[in-house]
Structure formats: structure tokens, C-alpha cells
Chain A
Amino acid sequence: MFLNQFLLLSVALFAIGVYGVLARRNGVMVLMSIELILNAVNINLVSFAAFTENLAGEVFALFVIAVAAAEVGVGLAMIMLLYRNRRNIDLTELDLMKG
């Protein structure tokens, strides 16, 4: 089967996503990277589902997509507000929670 290739694709996407989350300073980019991570997970779920011929994984992927949509909605709204208040969306400058 092709499981191997799909898992590799998933790993690559995940790694790119993690890099994006940790390294990018732009909030929108970080959000998009989170989407990448979620999609990596989706690929994982779907490919395992196809491999084991079990529908549960695909159903779960659908749920993840729905949750991801909601999460992007909330995230973008937060970034919009950030931009309106501070005129930039650089995440490294947001350290009001500094202990």
C-alpha cells in the first residue's frame, strides 16, 4: 500500500507547520501554520482509515475540519482586533503576560 508515502507527506507538513508556528512573527502566518499541522493530522487519519478500511478515521477528519474552521474564525477575529488596536500583528511584541 501507499501508507508510507502518505505518512511521509504528513510528517513533512507537520514539520513545516511546527516551524511556522515557532519561527514566524506574523500572526496570520502562525495561524496558517496551525492549519498545516491540523491538515497533517487529517492526512494521517484518512490514510490510516483507508488502510484499515475503517470509516471512523474519515469521520473524525471531518470533525477536525469543522473544528479547524471555527478555530480560524476565532483566531482571525483576534488578529483583526490586535491590528486595530496596535497597528501591527507581530507576535513577538505581545508580551503583556510576562511574569
Chain B
Amino acid sequence: MTDLFIFASATAELAENVLPLGITEGGAWLLRNAWIIPLIPALSFVGILFFGKRMPRQGAELGVAAIGIAFVLAVLTGAAWMDHRDNYHGDEVTQAVIAVDHGDAADHGEGHAPEHPSLAVSNTMTWFQVGGMTISVGVLVDGLAVMMLFVVTLVSLLVHIYSTDYVGGDRRYTHYFAFLSLFSASMLTLVISENTLQLLVAWELVGVCSFALIGHWWEEKPNSDAAMKAFLTNRVGDMGLLVGITVLFFSVGSALPDAFGSFSIATTNTLANSGLLSHTALLVSATCLMAAVMSKSGQFFLHTWLPDAMAGPTPVSALIHAATMVVAGVFMIARLYGVFFEGFSIGGSSINLMAVVGGLTTLVGASLAFVQRDIKKVLAYSTISQLGYMVLALGVGAWTAAVFHLFTHAFFKACLFLGSGSVAHAVHSFDMKSDMGGMRKAMPHTYRTFVIGSIALAGLPPLAGFWSKDEILAGTGGWGLFGGTGGNGAYTGMLIMGMVTAALTAAYMTRVIYLTFFGEFRGHGEIHESGPRIVVPLWILAGLAMVAGLFNLPPGFQLVPESMQERFGHYVEPAAAYFPGISHASPSWSLAIFSTLVVMAGAGSAYWYYFIKVEAAAKASGQSLTELSNGPTSRWPLAKMGHNLLENKYYLDHLYTGIIAEGTKGPLARAVYRFNQQVIDRTVDKVGETAVVSGQFVYDKIDQLLVDGAVNTSGRLASEAGGELRKIQSGKVQSYAAILFAAATVLAGILIVIV
């Protein structure tokens, strides 16, 4: 693919029909060689697989060391990127792509050319060549990739350390660490992918790791079922990914001279931004890719696998099913944003597929989180809801807000998951209603970190979740009360969905904290705080959950100097031709205050129900209660119906297995059977009868006379010749040697005579 590019030394020399891509082959060594970061855990995977069992700590030390080195490299790469963003002006190399058929192409491209572009660093090599076309593999390092490298390696490192305690003594301990390493390697490959094909490979690899780790304890049927469900649901979406990538490939090819396609992400995005790709093709591919996002990132209505995926070990849930893998879908949208932005016409609209999917997901997830007894399932639905937030933000054009939410969510959700694991480690159960309660005294560290994580998730200032959530709400542009907040359109519906979810989130987290840490202990045995390898990662994540929001203080936030505002947006959001020209919402004090009040109202009502009413009822009855015996569900039939609907997860699982799968199986199977009997069997019978008649003829005349005669004769000849030759086969090795030497002598004699 690289031979399609022209390497122009400066933008001034670009020809008329050439578009700058905004990527460079220069830059710091660390940026050009970011592929080393995924390579280290990949090597550790092989190392653990082959030598893990013989190591003193059964391979865990290799996994931890590898991801530790990767983390240090990721931090250094991040520092290199900050320097690159501020000080590298890209005069050295600018890659350009030729555009055809459109004379006005250059005008489109320069429309978004920023003053000081953040040139992404691209470094590719040939992967394979097929049919005269070169498929490359490489890195595309920009702020998004660097941010993801940091998040993935950090969470993965903490999860590795946590796991040495949590799964210690497991019978497949080595195997577990091998897969953690492979997962880290694949996810890191995914985030630095230079082209969509590489992205697809890494995407599937993380899916395989997810499958293997969900089914880590496969001896129990529900666990292996959950793994299978996750894998199959993801396959549905992967079909969309495959189709979407293919459509994009050929669509890009139609705009490039002498090429029938290209997988390059930068090229695809640039062409999409410049309006050179057909809108229909972009819409089709964006819709197909959306299916992939729905399965991987647990969006409504393909989210059903994510809660079941909690069958895996808790650190895996934290790493894969909360902080990193499930955001692969969000990352993919952010990476191919040009395609989605143009395909769904996000700018200047008030509704589109992505925003609706995100909005519904965030509501569905938050409401389902209410009725779960299992602490991990609450967090799983909460993850679905927060992923919905991110997709919603991308759907309304608030790119930076979405990516920033991804960043902060990774910390507080990993903190919450690891905290739930710490609790479960102590009581050997995940059931909040029957085995937990009153644990704040026995587990002070877990309790405090969990509360910090919950507040961050609920979005109260000044913790991380508040800043990112508020940025998303502002980004919808629907806050018209005080003159709107700008943004890419007027997505008022999305703003309302986001607000409702904010209240629900605060309420269900209050419920979880009450059920787990307050009231009387309902489980059995002594409970103790977990060891340092569990508590230290919790505190690190809790610390990040507190301060991560400060990385992106809104512009115009008067309490800090201007140089500290919007640092995250400055370094992460690309300002280059491969990124669409989105407009940014302006933050609003009134919106921030209103959303905080909404959160307080949600938390307050749950507080009133659990901490006051239930607590009082528990005192009165003298036992630990988890709900009121005369609560709203028992008093009002409508509330009961709603509760039932939620308990049954909106009947989606029934829809999939009961109606869709059974429906296809029943009528389809009958129809196929009839077709089989009536058409295929009859044809086969006729053919068979004819074959018997002709076969008889062939047997009598040709087979018996001609063929058999020849065969028998040759058989007899062979048998007689064999009888003679048999005599030489004495079985004595020396007689064979004698024959060999005699033959050699004869041949040597012939050689001499002839030559």
C-alpha cells in the first residue's frame, strides 16, 4: 500500500490533486517503534506457555515483569508523544495520498487543515503480498493510541499483580497468566493498528482471549456456557466488522488511482473527511461496523453476553470486561471517526443510529443494574451503561468527551471490580443479599476504595467521573436552557437519556454500597481484609479515580490557569487531516450544577430507601434486611411488573434462544425436511434406478469380460514373477550385501567400458 503514497518534503510542494494525510514517518524513536510494547507481552505469552510450569512462581513473575516493562515503555511513549505534539512541526515528511476524479479535492482537504497539526507517527512494513497488492502492517501512533497504550498497560499491570494473590493456588495458574499476557499483547496491537486488517486480527485475538478466560473454570457448565455465549454473540458482530472493512476497502479503492482498495486507516479517514467517498458506501460500512461495536462493547441489543461473562475470574472481569477489551468497540469508532462522522452525518443533526444505540444502552444497562443480587453483575450492567455513554458521546460528535470517559472509566471501573473481587475473596461468594453486608469494619481499605470508585462512577465533583460525564452531557449540545452549549448538533433526546442514567447510576451504586458494606453481616465465618497484593492496586486505582478528571478541566474553567485547561483534549484529540473537523461544545456552569443535583437526587432517594427505611426496619425486626417487606414492588402492581421485566432482563435472552433460535429451528427445519423428501429424495431415487439398469449392463459386458480378464492375467503374471523373486529374499542381510556389491561391481564395469 505504501507505494500509493507520495512522499513530499513539505506541504508547499504538494501538487493540485494531492491530499495531505496528517501522518509522518518522522518523530521520536519510541513513537516509530511502538510495536515493541505489544511484542513484550507476546514474548512473555510464549515464554510462560513453554517454561511457566518450571519457574519458581509458575510463570506469574514473567507475566508481571513483561507487562511492567510494557507499562514503563508506554509511559515513555506518552512523554515522547507530548513532546512530539508540541514541538514537532512536521516539516520533514508529510505523507500524501493522490486523489482522482475530483478537481476540487484539495479544497475539501484544506478545509480542516489546522494551524499546528498533530502529525500521527506512522511506521509500516510489508506483511504479505497477494495478487499484486501489498498488505502492510505497522503502527499508527497518535494521542488516542498513546492514551490507550497507557490505560491498557497500567490496568493490566495492576490486574497481574492482583491476580498473583486472587487466583493463587489455582490449578491452571500458569495457563491463566499466559492468557493474560496474550490478551495484553493483542489489545496493545489493536490500539496501535495502522490498518483495518491488522485491527481485525487483533480484534479477533482479544475475543479468543476473552473466551478462554471467561471459561477459565470450564469444569462448571455455566462457565463454559458463558464463554460460548460471549464468543458466539461476538461472532454476530464480527460479521459486521468484516463486511464493513470490505466495503471500506473497495470504497477507498474507487477514489485512488491504480489501486482497487486500501486498508490504511489514515487514508480511509482522510478520504471520508474530504468527501471523496460515496456517502452510501460510508453509511453502509458505518452501519456494519456499528454491529461490531454493539457486540464487542456490549451495546443494546447484543449486550447480553457481558453480564454472563462475569463467570470468569474477577481480575479478568476488571481487565477485559470493564476496562480494556470492551472499549475496543468505542476505540474502533474513535479510530475510524471520519467514516462514522460522515456516514451517520453526525454534524448538524439531532438523531442518528449511533447516538440512539448509545442512549438506549446506557438506560437499559443502568435500569438492569438495579435488580441484580450478584455484585459483579451490577458492575457488569454498569459497564454496559457507561459504554453506552461513550457510544452516545461519539454519536453526538463529542469525540474528546467519549475518549476521556473511556480513560476515567477504566480506572474507576477497574477499581470497583477489583474491590468486588476483594470482597468476594473474603466471603467466597458474589451474592450481596445472602452473603454480604456490614463489611466496612472488617475490610476498611476495600470499603474506602469501593466508595471512592462509586462516587467517581456516579459522577460527583471533583472525582473523575464528573468531569468526563459532564463533558459528554455538554457535548450533546441539547442544553438549551441557557443558550445551548454548541457542539455538533442539538441532541436534546440524548441529553435527557444521559441525565436519567446519571440519576440511576448514583442510585444503584448507593444500593450496592448499602448491601455490601452496611447493615449486619449475613454470611458465614470470619472475614478479613485482603493482602497487600490486592489492596495496593485498589488504592492506586482509587487514587487515579480521584485525580484523572483533572487532566481535562473544561476550557474557561476559571479556577485554574489556562495552561492547565483541556490538557487531555490537546494531546489526545488529533488535529490532522485524518480526523473530521468536529466542533466543540462549550462547557456550561448551569448544566454542571444541574447534573450534580440530578446525581444527588438519585443517590439521595436510594439513600433514603436503604440507609433510612431499610435500616430502621432492620433495627425493628432485629435482623439484617436487604429490602422492605412492604416496598413499592409489593404495593403497586405496575412497579411489580417493571421489576419482573428487569428481573428477566427485558426478555432479551428469551427472545434470542426461545423465539429466534427455536423459531428458526422449528419451521425452517420442517420446510427443509419437506424439500428433502419431495424434491431431493425423488431425484435421488430416479437417478438410483437408472444407475442400477446401466450398472447391470456394464457389469455383464465390460467388467466381467474385459476388465476382469485383463486383471486376472496381470495378477497371474505378477504372482509367478513374485514366486521366482521370492527365492532371493532369504532374509539374510549378508546375502543382500553380496548382491549389492556384485551389482555395484557390474555397474562400475559398465561405467568403465562406456566412459
Chain A residue with Cβ nearest B726: A99
B725 CB contacts on chain A under 8 angstroms: 99
Question: What 1/0 flags go to A1-27 for Cβ under 8 Å of B?
Answer: 000000000000000001001110000
A21 to B732, CA, bound (A): 12
Chain A residue with Cβ nearest B741: A18
Chain B residue with Cβ nearest A93: B732
A96 to B732, CA, bound (A): 8
Is B738 among interface residues, defined by CB-CB distance under 8 A?
yes
Please report which residues of chain A, range 36-70, place their CB below 8 angstroms from some CB of chain B when the two chains form the complex.
none
A30 CB contacts on chain B under 8 angstroms: 734
Please report which residues of chain B, range 706-739, place their CB below 8 angstroms from some CB of chain A when the two chains form the complex.
725-726, 728-734, 737-738
Which residue in A18, A21, A23, A97 is a CB contact (below 8 Å) of B731?
Answer: A97
Please report which residues of chain B, range 112-140, place their CB below 8 angstroms from some CB of chain A when the two chains form the complex.
none
Q: Count of A residues near B, CB < 8 Å?
A: 13
A96 CB contacts on chain B under 8 angstroms: 731
Which residue in A21, A97, A98 is a CB contact (below 8 Å) of B734?
Answer: A21
B737 CB contacts on chain A under 8 angstroms: 21-22
Which residue in B728, B730, B738 is a CB contact (below 8 Å) of A22?
Answer: B738
A94 to B731, CA, bound (A): 7
- B733 CB to closest chain A CB (Å) equals 6
Is A76 among interface residues, defined by CB-CB distance under 8 A?
no
Please report which residues of chain A, range 59-99, place their CB below 8 angstroms from some CB of chain B when the two chains form the complex.
91-92, 94-99
- A95 CB to closest chain B CB (Å) equals 3
A95 CB contacts on chain B under 8 angstroms: 730-732
Which residue in A18, A23, A98 is a CB contact (below 8 Å) of B730?
Answer: A98
- A58 CB to closest chain B CB (Å) equals 25
B726 CB contacts on chain A under 8 angstroms: 99
**A98:B729 contact, CB within 8 angstroms:** yes
B730 CB contacts on chain A under 8 angstroms: 95, 98-99
- B640 CB to closest chain A CB (Å) equals 82
- B722 CB to closest chain A CB (Å) equals 9
Chain A residue with Cβ nearest B729: A99
A99 CB contacts on chain B under 8 angstroms: 725-726, 728-731
A91 to B738, CA, bound (A): 14
- A86 CB to closest chain B CB (Å) equals 14
**B729:A94 contact, CB within 8 angstroms:** no
**A91:B731 contact, CB within 8 angstroms:** no
Chain B residue with Cβ nearest A22: B738
B731 CB contacts on chain A under 8 angstroms: 94-99
- B335 CB to closest chain A CB (Å) equals 57
A23 to B726, CA, bound (A): 23
A91 CB contacts on chain B under 8 angstroms: 732-734
**Chain B positions near chain A (C-beta within 8 angstroms):** 725-726, 728-734, 737-738, 741
**Chain A positions near chain B (C-beta within 8 angstroms):** 18, 21-23, 30, 91-92, 94-99
**20 CB-based A-B contacts, threshold 8 Å:** A18-B741, A21-B734, A21-B737, A21-B741, A22-B734, A22-B741, A23-B734, A30-B734, A91-B734, A92-B734, A94-B732, A95-B730, A95-B731, A97-B731, A98-B731, A99-B725, A99-B726, A99-B728, A99-B730, A99-B731
Known: A98-B731, A99-B730, A99-B731. 18 other contacts (CB 8 A): A18-B741, A21-B734, A21-B741, A22-B738, A22-B741, A23-B734, A91-B732, A91-B733, A92-B732, A92-B734, A94-B732, A94-B733, A96-B731, A97-B729, A98-B730, A99-B725, A99-B728, A99-B729
The 6 closest A-B pairs by CB, nearest first: A99-B729, A95-B731, A98-B731, A97-B731, A99-B726, A22-B738
